[in-house]
A and B are shown apart, each in its own frame.
Chain A
């Protein structure tokens, strides 16, 4: 056991996976000597060499397109996209090939790969470095989309992703890369894909969040509980697609109320899908419409006003109070 930050846990998982499975190679921009712009691959170039930790030319379509070829021909690529806002040159590869090669080849080919992508905002970065567009990928059948909110889960989910026979988009919340440390076991362990975690039990309302928003939501929740004398259940979705409907429905059936909090904009965000599914499946148990708390429906603004774009504690509180007092 050692106390690791989230980014250290990612690095630890990569090392563990590469030691165990020789087919795994890392490729991306600045991941070699430089150890990645967030240092997620620090030391791996030194340990595994330039044929397994590969700096590519600056071309995301090349990184992902080549990963398709690598994966169908015996390797297990883990490509890194430097920031979520820069994955779009590879969008065609992601949507038209990575997501559907299994279907297009009727099972003959599959592309097991883990596409690592730092995401989310509020790190005072320049334009387009603060995106939360997980919906694009969660909207796409064939992709598994994962977003850890803690160092322990980051390692366990990443190791599980490396074992998956399907392509996984692994979203790493940049804002909490180094925000706190947690006990992370040494060696191999997995946190199952497709399983949400009830991180706090409660009776009156279910709040669903992931990534950076999870901890911020937990802070708000304890304050609302103290102020209102209610008890709130909090679910960390962890896998955003295909997401764990059973855990969510079970909780909402119990509490009768649900709020989804996310850093992506509201319009057609994942909250819309979750709210719709809850309405479809739990309508008779619902005491209030499902509330969504999300970033305002504008592109991430420049950083001087960025913090107010994302859900603030006040807006999360208001969302919870709205369903409690409906």
Chain B
């Protein structure tokens, strides 16, 4: 099933002619996926800009990987459980976490970590590959409980080196669970190229060792991603077991806003991948299929901008979190010791406020004398 890299690369450069219009995806769904990619990119760029302006914390951009984010999210059903990484703000919001929550999260705000009750998204994994055994376990639970639910774990190429990746694959194969492991192979783990992660030709082929199917897709083609994930989800839901999907993609930006990719990547390489940009690519297809025009493009950009701007406004208008929030949710019931420490913090803050007031008053008196 795995396709050699060269074939994938050639496919990425081919414009889909009108007759290639997918018969399995509705026009509305195609247009919607385009809109979502545009929105995710706007979100991403604005987060990077906010970080640069000191209005947000470190942010790991996903620009370039929108076809993966959107293709995955659209192939999942609402009941399916998503186990994302830090790089997956796009998929996370499309599976139901409000955009402004994500912004609050990246701004270091505890309330940004709140996932709505009816949304099946796990907190973004920060320690690499740790989410994959979780996805396996959630899929296992669905199987044991007999519910129609699939779990999908997102991960990067670097993550395929961690023990947790191999453990998750092995468990998933042994217990034949309804899981999908989706690797966004963006060629680098921070500065380390794929050749330092594996001596295998592909990541997809690793599935073979664990006894299930591995597939490789063009991760810059949202249609290909959507189809591959949809097929894997359907197979899993029907008792066909897990699938590993490797999507070939690229992050155009830095690893995070603290990284300098010019240390380890050439401009030529980045340019090559830019030519496969999933957004202009789908746009050209939509135009060829008579589904898109300039007017729609302008409206789409305006709409995305408005959505992202209102999320930023909401994030910035959100009152500063009360610091005693750090004592919440450690245990179901707060312990007496934690209550005491909470009181200690509040008392300290009260004294700080008093001292500031007194200082302010003193300064005003000083000013009055002159």
Contacts and interface: CB of A to CB of B under 8 A. Distances in A.
A299 to B, nearest CB: 7
Given A302-B113, A306-B108, A55 B196 contact: yes
A298 B348 contact: no
Interface stretch (B10-18, B157-165, B175-183): B157-165
Interface in A26-66: 29-30, 32-35, 37, 55-59, 61-62
Contact of A89 (B109, B126, B162, B330): B162
A188 interface: no
Contacts of A303: 57, 108
Contact of A57 (B109, B112, B196, B348): B196
Given A126-B57, A126-B126, A302 B108 contact: yes
Contacts, number: 116
Contact of B126 (A34, A35, A128, A298): A128
B81 interface: no
Contacts of B107: 304
B307 interface: no
Contacts of A279: none
Contacts of A124: 57-58, 108
A21 to B, nearest CB: 26
Interface string B89-117: 00000000000000001111110110000
A56 B127 contact: no
A301 B338 contact: no
Interface residues of A, number: 40
Interface in A280-320: 296-299, 301-306, 308-309, 312, 314-315, 318
Interface in B239-255: none
A88 B127 CA distance: 9
A58 B163 CA distance: 10
Contacts of B337: 297
A85 interface: yes
B22 interface: no
B190 A37 contact: yes
A125 interface: yes
Nearest to A85: B127
Given A30-B190, A124-B57, A305 B110 contact: yes
A58 B159 contact: yes
A305 B197 contact: no
Contacts of A30: 190-192
B263 A33 contact: yes
A305 B326 contact: yes
Given A58-B189, A306-B108, A89 B161 contact: no
A186 interface: no
Nearest to B348: A314
Given A30-B191, A58-B128, A126-B57, A298 B327 contact: yes
Contacts of A304: 107-110, 320-321
A86 interface: yes
A183 interface: no
A61 B258 CA distance: 25
B71 to A, nearest CB: 25
Interface string B329-362: 0100000011001001100110110000000000
Interface of A is mostly: loop
A127 interface: yes
A61 B127 CA distance: 13
Contact of B345 (A34, A58, A296): A296
A227 to B, nearest CB: 13
With most chain A CB atoms within 10 A of its CB, the pick from B107, B158, B192 is B192
A115 B341 CA distance: 34
A38 B201 CA distance: 31
Interface in A228-280: none
A55 B325 CA distance: 40
Contacts of A59: 161-163
A301 B264 contact: no
Contacts of B349: 308
A299 B325 contact: no
B140 interface: no
Contacts of A88: 127
Interface string B300-330: 0000000000000000000011010111001
B58 A125 contact: yes
Contacts of A32: 191
Interface string B153-177: 0000011011110000000000000
B322 to A, nearest CB: 8
Contact of A302 (B109, B327, B341): B109
A275 B298 CA distance: 67
Interface of A: 29-30, 32-35, 37, 55-59, 61-62, 85-86, 88-89, 124-129, 296-299, 301-306, 308-309, 312, 314-315, 318
Given A124-B108, A126-B126, 11 more contacts: A33-B263, A34-B191, A58-B128, A89-B163, A296-B338, A299-B330, A303-B57, A306-B108, A314-B351, A314-B352, A315-B344
22 contacts: A30-B192, A34-B190, A37-B259, A57-B196, A58-B128, A58-B158, A58-B192, A59-B163, A62-B161, A85-B127, A88-B127, A296-B326, A297-B330, A297-B337, A297-B341, A302-B108, A303-B57, A305-B110, A309-B326, A314-B351, A315-B344, A318-B348
4 shortest A-B CB distances, which residue pairs? A303-B108, A34-B191, A57-B161, A58-B158
